[in-house]
Amino acid sequence: MGILSHQQGYIQIKMEFIMYHIPDEPSPGTLQQWVVNPIWPLVSYIIIGPLMAFLWLLFNAGAMGVLNRKQAINLGGLSFLLLIVAIVLTIAVSCVFGFANYETFSGLIMDAGGVAVAYFLYKIQMPYFRVYSSMDYPVWNGMVLMGAAFLLRPLLILAQMFFLYIIL
Protein backbone atom coordinates (compact mmCIF):
# COMPACT_ATOMS: atom_id res chain seq x y z
CA MET A 1 0.00 0.00 0.00
CA GLY A 2 2.59 2.88 0.10
CA ILE A 3 2.39 6.13 1.93
CA LEU A 4 -0.49 7.50 -0.16
CA SER A 5 -3.51 5.44 -1.07
CA HIS A 6 -6.66 6.40 -2.87
CA GLN A 7 -9.89 4.93 -1.63
CA GLN A 8 -13.37 6.05 -2.74
CA GLY A 9 -12.36 9.58 -3.60
CA TYR A 10 -10.35 10.19 -0.42
CA ILE A 11 -6.63 10.36 -0.13
CA GLN A 12 -5.37 8.56 2.93
CA ILE A 13 -1.93 9.37 4.30
CA LYS A 14 -0.25 6.80 6.50
CA MET A 15 1.72 8.30 9.34
CA GLU A 16 5.00 6.54 9.86
CA PHE A 17 7.24 7.51 12.72
CA ILE A 18 10.90 7.58 11.96
CA MET A 19 13.23 7.43 14.94
CA TYR A 20 16.36 9.49 14.73
CA HIS A 21 19.03 10.54 17.20
CA ILE A 22 20.73 13.93 17.23
CA PRO A 23 24.42 13.55 18.19
CA ASP A 24 24.17 16.14 20.99
CA GLU A 25 20.90 14.73 22.28
CA PRO A 26 21.26 13.13 25.72
CA SER A 27 20.27 9.51 25.94
CA PRO A 28 18.99 9.10 29.50
CA GLY A 29 18.95 5.72 31.09
CA THR A 30 17.06 4.13 33.94
CA LEU A 31 18.21 6.81 36.39
CA GLN A 32 16.67 9.70 34.45
CA GLN A 33 14.13 10.48 37.19
CA TRP A 34 17.03 11.62 39.43
CA VAL A 35 18.46 14.26 37.06
CA VAL A 36 18.89 17.73 38.55
CA ASN A 37 20.10 21.04 37.19
CA PRO A 38 23.93 20.87 37.27
CA ILE A 39 24.09 24.10 39.26
CA TRP A 40 22.94 22.21 42.39
CA PRO A 41 25.94 19.86 42.59
CA LEU A 42 28.21 22.85 41.93
CA VAL A 43 26.61 24.83 44.78
CA SER A 44 26.83 21.74 46.98
CA TYR A 45 30.61 21.90 46.58
CA ILE A 46 30.57 25.20 48.43
CA ILE A 47 28.00 24.30 51.07
CA ILE A 48 28.68 20.62 51.76
CA GLY A 49 32.06 19.70 50.36
CA PRO A 50 33.95 18.26 47.42
CA LEU A 51 33.27 14.55 47.89
CA MET A 52 29.51 14.82 47.58
CA ALA A 53 29.76 17.39 44.78
CA PHE A 54 32.01 15.22 42.60
CA LEU A 55 29.94 12.11 43.18
CA TRP A 56 26.74 14.04 42.49
CA LEU A 57 28.13 15.64 39.32
CA LEU A 58 29.27 12.27 37.97
CA PHE A 59 25.98 10.61 38.93
CA ASN A 60 24.00 13.42 37.29
CA ALA A 61 26.06 13.15 34.11
CA GLY A 62 25.47 9.41 33.96
CA ALA A 63 21.75 9.72 34.67
CA MET A 64 21.33 12.38 32.00
CA GLY A 65 23.26 10.34 29.45
CA VAL A 66 26.07 12.85 29.01
CA LEU A 67 28.80 10.40 29.88
CA ASN A 68 28.91 6.71 29.32
CA ARG A 69 30.29 4.52 32.08
CA LYS A 70 33.83 4.43 30.65
CA GLN A 71 34.02 8.23 30.35
CA ALA A 72 32.69 8.70 33.90
CA ILE A 73 35.25 6.28 35.32
CA ASN A 74 38.04 7.98 33.36
CA LEU A 75 36.93 11.44 34.51
CA GLY A 76 36.62 10.28 38.11
CA GLY A 77 40.07 8.67 37.92
CA LEU A 78 41.53 11.84 36.42
CA SER A 79 39.99 13.94 39.20
CA PHE A 80 41.41 11.54 41.79
CA LEU A 81 44.85 11.68 40.12
CA LEU A 82 44.73 15.50 40.06
CA LEU A 83 43.89 15.49 43.78
CA ILE A 84 46.90 13.28 44.56
CA VAL A 85 49.19 15.44 42.38
CA ALA A 86 47.91 18.58 44.15
CA ILE A 87 48.63 17.07 47.56
CA VAL A 88 52.13 15.90 46.60
CA LEU A 89 52.92 19.21 44.87
CA THR A 90 51.72 21.16 47.89
CA ILE A 91 53.85 19.16 50.29
CA ALA A 92 56.88 19.51 47.97
CA VAL A 93 56.45 23.28 47.61
CA SER A 94 55.96 23.63 51.36
CA CYS A 95 59.16 21.69 52.04
CA VAL A 96 61.20 23.66 49.48
CA PHE A 97 60.03 27.09 50.66
CA GLY A 98 59.86 26.09 54.31
CA PHE A 99 56.21 26.77 55.02
CA ALA A 100 55.61 25.62 58.56
CA ASN A 101 51.86 25.35 58.14
CA TYR A 102 51.57 23.49 54.86
CA GLU A 103 48.12 22.11 55.73
CA THR A 104 46.56 25.53 55.15
CA PHE A 105 48.44 25.98 51.90
CA SER A 106 47.51 22.50 50.71
CA GLY A 107 43.87 23.13 51.60
CA LEU A 108 43.91 26.30 49.51
CA ILE A 109 45.40 24.52 46.49
CA MET A 110 43.02 21.57 46.81
CA ASP A 111 40.01 23.88 47.12
CA ALA A 112 41.05 25.94 44.09
CA GLY A 113 41.72 22.80 42.06
CA GLY A 114 38.50 21.19 43.24
CA VAL A 115 36.39 24.19 42.31
CA ALA A 116 38.06 24.23 38.88
CA VAL A 117 37.27 20.53 38.28
CA ALA A 118 33.69 20.93 39.59
CA TYR A 119 33.16 23.97 37.34
CA PHE A 120 34.59 22.01 34.39
CA LEU A 121 32.10 19.18 35.04
CA TYR A 122 29.32 21.76 35.34
CA LYS A 123 30.26 23.35 32.01
CA ILE A 124 30.26 19.94 30.31
CA GLN A 125 26.77 19.11 31.61
CA MET A 126 25.00 22.44 31.12
CA PRO A 127 24.48 22.31 27.31
CA TYR A 128 23.21 18.74 27.61
CA PHE A 129 20.91 19.77 30.45
CA ARG A 130 19.39 22.53 28.31
CA VAL A 131 18.60 20.02 25.56
CA TYR A 132 17.45 17.47 28.16
CA SER A 133 15.03 19.87 29.84
CA SER A 134 13.72 21.19 26.51
CA MET A 135 12.74 17.64 25.54
CA ASP A 136 10.45 17.42 28.60
CA TYR A 137 12.45 14.75 30.38
CA PRO A 138 11.87 14.73 34.16
CA VAL A 139 14.00 17.15 36.19
CA TRP A 140 14.22 16.78 39.94
CA ASN A 141 14.63 19.69 42.34
CA GLY A 142 18.16 19.48 43.75
CA MET A 143 17.35 21.71 46.71
CA VAL A 144 15.74 18.77 48.52
CA LEU A 145 18.90 16.65 48.37
CA MET A 146 21.08 19.63 49.25
CA GLY A 147 18.91 20.38 52.28
CA ALA A 148 19.16 16.77 53.46
CA ALA A 149 22.93 16.76 52.86
CA PHE A 150 23.28 20.03 54.76
CA LEU A 151 21.57 18.46 57.76
CA LEU A 152 23.90 15.47 57.48
CA ARG A 153 26.92 17.71 56.85
CA PRO A 154 28.89 16.61 59.94
CA LEU A 155 28.68 12.99 58.80
CA LEU A 156 29.67 13.93 55.26
CA ILE A 157 32.67 15.92 56.51
CA LEU A 158 33.71 12.93 58.61
CA ALA A 159 33.40 10.69 55.53
CA GLN A 160 35.54 13.13 53.50
CA MET A 161 38.22 13.23 56.20
CA PHE A 162 38.20 9.42 56.39
CA PHE A 163 38.48 9.26 52.59
CA LEU A 164 41.49 11.62 52.61
CA TYR A 165 43.05 9.68 55.51
CA ILE A 166 42.84 6.49 53.46
CA ILE A 167 44.43 8.22 50.46
CA LEU A 168 47.30 9.71 52.43
Residue 146 in this model has a pLDDT that exceeds 60: yes
Average pLDDT over residues 80-98: 74
Which span out of 59-63, 81-85, 91-95, 97-101 was modeled with the highest average pLDDT? 59-63
149 within some domain:
yes
Q: Is 100 a residue whose pLDDT tops 50? A: yes
Query: For residue 8, is it within any domain?
Result: no
Residue 1 has pLDDT above 60, yes or no: no
* 148-160: average pLDDT: 81
The number of domains in the chain is 1
Q: Looking at the domain assignment, is residue 21 inside a domain?
A: no
Which pLDDT value is given to residue 39?
Answer: 92
Whether 9 shows a pLDDT value over 70: the answer reads no
Q: Which residue has the higher pLDDT, 22 or 83?
A: 83
Instruction: Answer whether residue 6 is part of any domain.
Output: no
4 part of a folded domain: no
In terms of Cβ atoms closer than 10 Å to its own Cβ (0-12, 13-18, 19+), residue 72 is middle
Domain contains 27: no
Residues 116-131 have pLDDT tens digits of 888 888 888 888 888 8
Task: Judge whether 25 lies within some domain.
Answer: no
25 has pLDDT over 70: no
56/35 Cα distance (integer angstroms): 10
Residues 37 and 50: their CA atoms lie apart, in Å, by 17
- Choose the weakest-confidence range: 8-17, 41-50, 122-131: 8-17
Report the DSSP beta bridge partners of residue 6: 11
Task: Assess if residue 69 is contained within a domain.
Answer: yes
Mean pLDDT of the chain: 76
Tell me which of 121 and 37 has the higher pLDDT. Answer: 37
Q: State the Cα–Cα distance between residues 142 and 57, nearest whole angstrom.
A: 12
Residue 91, domain extent? 37-167
Dmax (CA) of the chain? 95
Judge contact between 42 and 57, C-beta under 8 A.
Answer: yes
